[in-house]
Amino acid sequence: MTKTQRPPEVVTQDVINKFKGWRDSAVYSTEHLNELFRKRDADEIKTSNLITGCSDNARVLQAEFERNGVSALLAKGVLENYLNGKVEKPDGHIFVYLPDQNIFVDPVTLEIAREEGLHMPGGQYKGEKVLIRKGLSGSTSNGAFKKFPSEISTPKGDIEDWEQFKAEYQGKNPK
């Protein structure tokens, strides 16, 4: 590291602080969720100043990291209790993964965690453990989701992916 380079953890905290300032001034609404859910890139979300959920937060945060030279991926997690059959309804959360630091940033709480420390930030499953399915993380330069293995840009696609993950998880972790 040269004298002019800042340590990655300093850059990470600066990006989080800048993002928090924007996020706290934005409007959160699910009124137009069906029309907007994962259909906008980070610039469109920032310009509209309208957040529909964790996916919007994650896209903007990921783009901010990348603009600041920090490699960042979107990582989709699902409730561990859904995977092991303790709850029937799947639910999940999007995180921003910083592979060079091997950490995840929750775009809602802005907490930094290792993979084993990921949990739901709110709602009925607040605090419950979330697992990341390997191969479901991805990004493109504009913050759009890659499609693995089925369409994941819709809630229906999330459920299909989570059901497939559940089958794989239960096959590796029989009751």
Give whole-number Cα distances, 23 to 1, 43, 53, 110, 129, in Å.
Answer: 31, 13, 11, 11, 25
- CA 155 to mean position of chain CA atoms: 14
Nearest one of 45, 44, 48, 51 to 29, comparing CA atoms: 51
Q: Which helix (H) or strand (E) holds 168?
A: helix 155-172
The pTM of the full predicted model, rounded to 2 decimals, is: 0.79
Q: Report pLDDT for 119.
A: 86
Whether 18 and 25 have beta carbons less than 8 Å apart is answered as no
* CA within 13 Å, CB half, 45: 30
Q: Identify any residues that bridge with 78 across adjacent strands, giving them in sequence order.
A: 92, 131
With cut-offs at 50, 70 and 90, classify the pLDDT of residue 4.
low
Tell me the average pLDDT of the chain. Answer: 79
* Structural domain boundaries in the chain: 8-172
Does domain 8-172 fall under CATH 1.10.3470? My reply is no
Q: For residue 138, what is the DSSP state?
A: B
Give the mean model confidence (pLDDT) for residues 16-31: 91
Give the mean model confidence (pLDDT) for residues 26-43: 79
Q: Around Cβ 44, how many Cβ atoms within 10 Å?
A: 16
